[in-house]
Structure 1
Amino acid sequence: MKALILAGGRGKRLKPITDYVPKPLVPIKNIPIIEWQIKYLKKFGVNEVIVCTGYKQDMIENYLNIKKINMKIRFSIEDSPLGTGGAIKKAGKMIHDKSFFVLNGDVITNIDLKQLSKKQNSIASIELQTKFGILETKDDKIIKFKEKKEISDIWMNAGIYHLEKSILKDLPLKGDIEKTVFPDYAKKGKLYIEKFRNVKWYSIDSFKDIETCSSEIEKIIK
């Protein structure tokens, strides 16, 4: 199997770090996000990764070339931002397999890709996470206070997809797959969900995310 890593964003919420290095090279326990992701993909039998880059792409390419990771790595370079849909469409020209995985460039997880691959054009989903305490109320009284990260049976996009190559023709040259093709496919009954409970999942969008993920990263990706 092959996988695309969407790594072209500027990572504005991690400024000022991302003024100097691209988000995929932001370290978690002294190892860049993208290296953790490649280890994760390798664990599930992915043998080739195409990294979709834009912002500071030369730094990402130089790091992965110097690191000599035991994985075939190619690059799809965006001269200007194409959005997730445009990035997949451009990089997809390098893929000749029937299907492939897509991974957002800031996701750290242990979601089972083999399970995801059983459905075509599928989105990995996890129960909605919240950083806040949840209140159960009756009339104007609080009857229970829960400190929990997951809200049961409300599902969120985990930023990991298993896509058929045939989807490439429907993708925009510029624009996000989440705002274009996915809504259209959902209306037509052509988009599937694979639900994952009790998994580890982090989207690295803040310094707090880095801190929290650092405490568990070695358990998540072994």
Structure 2
Amino acid sequence: MSAVKPAVLAGLNVAVLAGGLGTRLRGVLDDRPKILAPVAGRAFLDHLLDAFALAGVERVLLCLGHMADSVLSHLKVCKPALSVDCIVEPHPLGTGGALRYARSRLRGDRLLVVNGDTWLGFDLPRLAASFDPQVMAGTLVYVEVDDAGRYGRLDINHEERITAFLEKDATHHGGGMVNGGVYLLSDQLLDQLSAGTAISLERDFLEKLPPRTLHAFRASGPFIDIGTPESLAIAGSVVRQAMFGRAV
């Protein structure tokens, strides 16, 4: 991401999905939600907001649920460098339900959706510039990893269209292209999501779209999700390297 505020980001809606229960971190992170997990001496949320501000994003909408009060209290003291609005779901709605609940707060013809437990280095201005909401339904940001066994993998054709979502396969050995947890969705696709009943944005909606509906955008920066004790333990080194190297 660039320190310059490109015109291509003007009016871009950004939604961070941060309402999950964090069940895989129980026993490790019981006193706070995942997005406030301590990473490199700060809350993970602070790193995300700094990266978006550096990229030129002006406003972020946080979709909150589990332990939302902790996030609201944190925002009163952390003083982010961009505008942050929050919406708290009344009960667990899933990632698809969270976006449906937030629909009235989103304006414009495109929405950047980011999983709140994921750090991914990618060129946001280039992603935004490559996206035409008049002719494209959506773009999924992917990353190539050396060990893809713990992730669901993607099949991507030569036109950079997603042709299939492959189930997670622990017996898979070797690298692969995996979902980076970042999506740029057109207003029309968001309307389609809002008109349905999908609970999971990924499994119940994006993976159900006809093959080649979604474009694929490759991220070259560091990637980690903090959803397991093992990944959370090394997240600090990944974020420090990314920030000092200006990889995000």
* TM tier, smaller: 0.7 to 0.9
RMSD after superposition: 2.1
**Inter-CA distance 184–12: structure 2 relative to 1 (3 Å threshold):** closer
Task: Describe the SS at the equivalent of 2:30.
Answer: helix
Matched pairs, number: 202
- Aligned partner of 1:185: which letter? L
**Inter-CA distance 92–221: structure 2 relative to 1 (3 Å threshold):** farther
Residue of structure 2 equivalent to 1:190: 213
Contact map agreement 1:17 1:26 (CA 8 A) in 2: no
Task: Note the alpha carbon deviations across 1:143-177, whole angstroms, 9 max, x for none.
Answer: xxxxxx971xx311000011112222211345112
TM-score, length basis structure 2: 0.75
Identity of aligned residues (%): 23
Residue of structure 1 equivalent to 2:116: 105
- How much has 1:19 moved relative to structure 2? 2.1
List gaps (5 residues or longer) in structure 1: 133-148
Q: Which has the larger radius of gyration?
A: 1
Residue of structure 1 equivalent to 2:141: 124
Task: Note the alpha carbon deviations across 1:63-94, whole angstroms, 9 max, x for none.
Answer: 01221212111111111111111111222321
- How much has 1:50 moved relative to structure 2? 0.5
CA distance in structure 2 between the partners assigned to 1:210 and 1:182 by the alignment:
27
Task: Note the alpha carbon deviations across 1:119-146, whole angstroms, 9 max, x for none.
Answer: 34100001144288xxxxxxxxxxxxxx
Residue of structure 1 equivalent to 2:6: none
Task: Describe the SS at the equivalent of 2:112.
Answer: strand
**Inter-CA distance 92–41: structure 2 relative to 1 (3 Å threshold):** farther
Contact map agreement 1:85 1:174 (CA 8 A) in 2: yes
Equivalences for 1:152-167 in 2 at 5 Å?
154-167=176-189
Equivalences for 1:7-156 in 2 at 5 Å?
7-117=18-128, 118-119=130-131, 120=136, 121-130=138-147, 151=175, 154-156=176-178
Contact map agreement 2:120 2:180 (CA 8 A) in 1: no
CA distance in structure 1 between the partners assigned to 2:230 and 2:197 by the alignment:
34
Higher strand share: 1
